[in-house]
Chain A
Amino acid sequence: MRQKLLNALIGIVVALLLGAILLLLQGYDPLATYEALFRYSLFGYYPFATTLRNAVPLVLPGLSAAIAFASGVVNLGQPGQLVMGALFATVGGLYLNLPPALMIPALALLAMLGGVVWAGIAALLRRFFEMSEFIVTLMLNMIADFFTAWAITEPFKDPAAFSPMTPQISPNGWLPEWGEFNTMILFMFAAVVIAWFIFHRWKAGYEWRITGQNALFARLGGCEINRNFMAVMLLTGALAGLAGGLVVMGGPHRFIRGLGANYAWDGVMIAIVANNGLIATFLYGLFFSAIQTGALGMELITSVPNEISQVLQAVLVLVIVASREYLNTFVQQLAARRRAREVRT
């Protein structure tokens, strides 16, 4: 645990230093830039609420990727599952009419269903034709992109709009705001807790983790590998789909072009940085969200284009992961040297 924290700190400090050098090279003041970056994301009631809210579409796909990777399932289909979830929730919001207390859960379930359907296609192709889910999910991402683009330009287009987008969903499906806080963050907290519980306390989660660490051992121990694969695919699809639905219900209340943004890929990166730990995914999700949220305020103050946050994120990922593996070898070397000395004396 201490080593994990130390490693995260080292990684973040080194990455921020590298980022500072990049900023200096382009003639910006790194200190003022970082100050603005974190002032507009963490310090204050409104910035913090915004950071939490923006973390939702990062943390959910992040959990999805973390559970999949830790279970030995290469589900890289979060981007596609997210937009399909968003589409399902939007269509539900356009045609259903229920009181808010039923409407919101119904749309959230529809969003999960969208993700499940899209992940399910990949899972079935793997199950029956042994097609590697790695490439299949990647290709399905592109197909989902085009499919949703078609859905919002042709069948579900808002006739009053000039660019491709759907009409607004029924206000009963809008997630309420509590002060500055959008209730979508409650879904995120619930998802983290439930996912953690399933993964670390349930028998199913135990089987998935064992399969991820050693599939052969798991099979010999009596785990149903195929059924577990299916379950992980569908669960991770549901998590990614839920993210898409929440973005629609909490944000623009309609499906606009570019809705999926880079959320899901960022989520995958976050899971990787977190070494597939669920709590770590949640924390890094908040951190990455802070960088993205603060970048917009930073641009206003310092005229540094906010796209620098994407560069900073990639640097963070590489440095944190590299320092983790480097630190691990370093600690092992130390231990080996100590043992060698003990043997000698």
Chain B
Amino acid sequence: MKILIGLINGMIAGATPILLAALGGAYTYYAGVFNIAMEGMLLTGAFFAVLGSYYTGSWLVGVLLAVLGSLFLSLIFILFAVVLKTDEFVTGIALNLFAVGATTYLLRKIFSVKGVFSNPGIQPIPALRLPVVENIPVLGEILSGQNLMIWVAVLATILTHFLIFQTRFGLRLRAAGYNPARLDSSGVPSNRLRALSLLACGVLCGLGGAFLSLGYVNLFAENMSAGRGWISLAAIILVNGNPLGIALISLLFGFSDGLGLLLQGYRVPAQFTAMVPYLATLIALYFYAARTRRLKSA
């Protein structure tokens, strides 16, 4: 039972950054932006979260700075891909490398360290204890004591689903991806919606990055996003952008994350257990491809 609860908690924690980044990517997916900058945005968010939290001693400032840092990347993306019409793929790759370079540079410039910055002065995002629920045997151990950001992610999933499918904004957003010329001719500039979708992506990736460095662990390490942005991209493609589907897939990746940790107990080398989420992505991709093939032949 203890193992199972640990596995579920590990699954939830592993899923959260992927979920937040993928929800951000869902906005751009529907708006027809080929956005692969989630990796860089997560990393930038993680760095600025530590920066803010360390210097002000407040995790809230950390989260705020994380969102601002990630939004800065969104603005560059908008400037190049939306305004100057640079190829979106190129912009994304350059931004990801810019994020790696800039965070490594700033890590050295501001904290004078290479590789990892960890310090007791970094204030983590608190866990939320639910007063009555925590007394329920199994459920309480899972629901109570989770990091605040996990609830934010749950909220963000519901909000995203509502925004994209139930509001006028969502309709226009999907139209911008589906038929931009039609949207333009009906008086709504599709470029504005693309820019908005990128800003939404920036906010959500900033939150995801803040969770990485102030929740999942309490430090900043070079390149600590470690492919989570790419996995979130895979998650979006696998479910065609549907927010609830994204939540489900993220939990699956989170589960493989937790499973990796569990396998380490059975003397499987750490490097192999760390591969599990990426292998899981490949397996998920296999089933996705098989389904697409069936649909095509039917």
List the interface of chain A (C-beta within 8 A of B).
26, 125, 129-132, 135-136, 138-143, 146-147, 149-150, 153-154, 262, 265-266, 268-269, 272, 305, 307-311, 313-315, 317-318, 321-322, 325-326, 329
Contact = CB atoms under 8 A, between A and B. Distances in A.
Contacts of B95: 314, 318
Interface in B100-144: 100-102, 104-105, 108-109
B87 interface: yes
A272 B94 CA distance: 10
Given A146-B271, A307-B104, A325-B84, A130 B94 contact: no
Contact of B84 (A26, A266, A307, A322): A322
Contacts of A325: 84-87
A310 B105 contact: yes
7 contacts: A130-B293, A139-B227, A139-B230, A142-B275, A307-B108, A310-B97, A311-B98
Contacts of B289: 129-132
B97 A265 contact: yes
B91 A135 contact: no
A153 B84 contact: no
Shortest Cβ-Cβ A-B pairs, 5 listed: A310-B101, A314-B98, A150-B271, A307-B105, A317-B94
Contacts of B94: 269, 272, 314, 317-318, 321
Interface residues of B, number: 42
A236 to B, nearest CB: 16
A125 B93 CA distance: 24
Interface in B70-102: 76, 80, 84-87, 90-91, 93-95, 97-98, 100-102
The secondary-structure label for the interface of chain B is helix
B292 interface: yes
A283 to B, nearest CB: 18
B154 interface: no
B274 interface: yes
A325 to B, nearest CB: 6
B171 interface: no
A29 B30 CA distance: 45
A310 B104 contact: yes
B105 A135 contact: no
A26 B44 CA distance: 19
A330 to B, nearest CB: 12
B101 to A, nearest CB: 3
A139 B94 CA distance: 19
Nearest to A149: B271
Interface in B244-298: 269, 271-272, 274-275, 278-279, 281-282, 285-286, 288-290, 292-293
Contacts of A132: 237, 285, 289
A210 B99 CA distance: 35
A311 B281 CA distance: 31
Most buried by B among A129, A266, A269: A129
B93 A268 contact: yes
Contact of B98 (A135, A138, A315): A315
B237 A322 contact: no
B227 A142 contact: yes
A307 B91 CA distance: 20
Given A132-B285, A135-B233, A139-B234, A321 B97 contact: no
